Structure 1
Amino acid sequence: MDYKKILANLKKKDYAPVYFLQGEESYFIDQIVDYIDKEILTEGEKSFNQVVLYGKETDFKQVVDQAMQFPMMAAYRVVIVKEAQSMSSLEKLSSYIDNPSTQTILVLAHKHKKFDKRKKAFWAALKKNAVVLETKKLYDNQVPAHIIAKSKENNLRIDNKTAFILSEHLGNDLSKIANEIEKLALNIPAGSTIDLNHIQQFVGISKDYNVFELQKAIGAKNKKKAYAIVKYFAQNSKANPIQRNIGSFYNYFSTLFLSKKFEKADDRTFASKVRVNPYFAKDYKAAASNYTLPQIKRAFKLIHAMDKASKGVETRRSNEMGIYQEFLFKLFA
């Protein structure tokens, strides 16, 4: 079931006897566990009716023992198993899941990976009586849309450019994104549009010297601006780690590589084929026209060399400014 649908049902008090939450993206699992932990029982009911277990420290018998107890002066008993992926006997819960207590809400938080599909009895029991969530890490090109949606949840707006800059700075760490947007919501009026000044003041991203502006400069072959931005990055490396920027360079030239195939298409078709926001279609098409395919392929080799240099592999150059300068010098040559 979809994460939003599960939360919506919980808020309507439409509870399932078992929740099996699994997958690579912990954020969505944590959100559901947090809601169940805080909202189903009152503080007074929790003392006798809510228990949190940890997979490394428990086995299926303890889970079943807790789940089979009757609630005391409450409608439900809540049993949460965190780190269920570390529970060696997890599949042995299939008998309980096949016939669960209707007065217990059992939550199994199986994070960072999917449970073995070959455990057929376990999956058959889940299919019969459980709500199952499977989470996946967002792709980089999905993160700006998530930031826009998360901003809306916090009664804020954000434009495509600012969402992209935030995504490049924060990556696909959804917990970090949520924290930064909540911080913005505390500091700017409800209903406001998050702009570059806000993210500079409250997130610490320069409105002039950021990955978005560097990509634009590289795409336009604006050497002066590109060198100025990498100088800022090198001088502020804690906020602008070189490994993150190398990843951004790789993603950018990967998009340019695909852009060459569709640069003559209209913006809507281009955005769909290249998997970018239509807002950025013109920028990518213009950049693609400035680079030949051999130049883009060469850029990948330069990025690979930059990555090795940043790690001190096969090079004597260790300072970040030198690494950035060598990359740009060879790129623009």
Structure 2
Amino acid sequence: MASISSLYADIDQKNYKPVYLICGGAELLISEVVDYLIAEFQKDSLSSINVRQLDAEEVEPDDVIEEACTPPFFSDRRLLIVKNVDKWSQAAQKKLLPVLKNPPSFTVLVLIGESPAKLQTISTLLRKKNGLISAEAPRDRDLIGWIRKRAQAKGKNISGPAAAHLLELVGKDLRELSNALDKLIAYTDKTRNIEVKDVLDALNDIRTRSIFELTNAFGNRMLVTAIKSVRRLLETGESPLRIISMLDRQLRNIWQARVATQQGKSITDLAEILSTAQWIAKKFATQSKNYTINEIKRAFELLYEADKLIKTTMVPSEDILELLIIKICSKQDMATTANNAGFLAAEE
């Protein structure tokens, strides 16, 4: 299966294959290469009428075949894009096989589907014709490299720590990362290099800062800072359940770091386990020293109980979250509540 970069190369060289099948869940990467392809076809003012986009959830295979076999209007070729082809049954996909085996010379047919497992009928054939394109998101461990490469393509040099910081603040969603990177590039328009300070300054909104402060305060058991960060997040409209999810993710990283360090693993090993940069792995290793294994287990129980309370009771979410932070970040409270049956036991 070829990478999506090979499709870009075909477009730049105008050396199109008759049929492409783009498989994968990286919606951003797919939409970008499709937009690029359409733009190339529309450079000729007459070519815009020779670009057709269909949704397999709204049309039948026979409709696609008819479109593919329709000659272009005052042009050498036409572009036909069909998304969601994985929504068709295998029987429906088989109807396309004749046109895929002997495609019209004047049509570039681009089929798009998220699930490769549901496209075996088509993918087996197109793999042999070198028309199978992978559009999977980068692995977690490769995201920092993806950010740096994307910045470089836009004329910027973002340092490794700055890229890792951006990833930590924004998360792993490619579109959100791309939007944040564009904002960062606009912010640093007068300089080529992007450092950690630029990331913090460019994304200096209350919610982003508070998320960063909360996860760090939680990991370092800084009770007052953690409570203040929770309050600020709630004031910005952040979902209480999303806050629980953030804390759960942070605790899981701390737990993995704690286990890894007890097993004598290096920071390099931990970075591999967490699929992250070494400097972030080092931070989790440091934070893991603030919790014993038993405290981590109890913290997971408290997170589960808090999540359940928010979903099933009328107790204000702010009260539940603040009590959660107190119970986890206060070493004394963690010790005294270890044997309590319920989350609110200390308050009753």
Q: TM-score range by the shorter chain?
A: 0.7 to 0.9
Q: Tell me, yes or no, if the aligned pair for 1:97 and 1:129 is still in contact at 8 Å.
A: no
2:185 aligned partner, one-letter code:
A
1:305-316 aligned within 5 A: 305-310=305-310, 312-313=311-312, 315-316=313-314
Equivalent residue number for residue 254 of structure 1:
252
1:47-66 aligned within 5 A: 47-66=48-67
Q: Tell me, yes or no, if the aligned pair for 2:56 and 2:82 is still in contact at 8 Å.
A: yes
2:94 is equivalent to residue 96 of structure 1: no
1:282 aligned partner, one-letter code:
K
Once residues 151 and 136 of structure 1 are traced to their aligned partners in structure 2, the CA distance between those partners, rounded to angstroms, is: 19
Cα-to-partner distance string for 1:28-70 (whole Å, 9 max, x where unaligned) = 2212211111113424232442222222332222212222233
1:80 aligned partner, one-letter code:
I
1:271-282 aligned within 5 A: 271-282=271-282
1:278 aligned partner, one-letter code:
Q
SS at match of 2:118: coil
Q: Tell me, yes or no, if the aligned pair for 1:18 and 1:106 is still in contact at 8 Å.
A: yes
C-alpha spacing 1:204/1:87, structure 2 compared with 1 (3 Å)? farther
Equivalent residue number for residue 177 of structure 1:
177
TM-score, normalization: structure 1? Answer: 0.84
Tell which deviates more after alignment, 35-44 or 156-165. Answer: 156-165
Equivalent residue number for residue 76 of structure 1:
77
Equivalent residue number for residue 321 of structure 2:
324
2:243 is equivalent to residue 245 of structure 1: yes
Q: Tell me, yes or no, if the aligned pair for 2:161 and 2:195 is still in contact at 8 Å.
A: no
1:221 aligned partner, one-letter code:
R
C-alpha spacing 1:301/1:4, structure 2 compared with 1 (3 Å)? farther
Residue segments in structure 2 that go unaligned for 5+ positions in a row: 334-348
Once residues 161 and 214 of structure 1 are traced to their aligned partners in structure 2, the CA distance between those partners, rounded to angstroms, is: 20
The CA RMSD measured in Å over matched residues stands at 2.8
1:222 aligned partner, one-letter code:
M
Once residues 280 and 177 of structure 2 are traced to their aligned partners in structure 1, the CA distance between those partners, rounded to angstroms, is: 22
TM-score, normalization: structure 2? Answer: 0.81
Once residues 75 and 236 of structure 1 are traced to their aligned partners in structure 2, the CA distance between those partners, rounded to angstroms, is: 54
Once residues 260 and 183 of structure 1 are traced to their aligned partners in structure 2, the CA distance between those partners, rounded to angstroms, is: 36
Once residues 164 and 211 of structure 1 are traced to their aligned partners in structure 2, the CA distance between those partners, rounded to angstroms, is: 15
**How many percent identity over aligned positions?**
23
Tell which deviates more after alignment, 321-330 or 165-174. Answer: 165-174
Q: Tell me, yes or no, if the aligned pair for 2:52 and 2:79 is still in contact at 8 Å.
A: yes
1:57 aligned partner, one-letter code:
E
Q: Tell me, yes or no, if the aligned pair for 2:271 and 2:281 is still in contact at 8 Å.
A: yes
Cα-to-partner distance string for 1:118-163 (whole Å, 9 max, x where unaligned) = 53xx333222335222444556665444333333332234445554
Q: Tell me, yes or no, if the aligned pair for 2:25 and 2:136 is still in contact at 8 Å.
A: yes
Q: Tell me, yes or no, if the aligned pair for 2:41 and 2:51 is still in contact at 8 Å.
A: no
Once residues 161 and 309 of structure 1 are traced to their aligned partners in structure 2, the CA distance between those partners, rounded to angstroms, is: 38
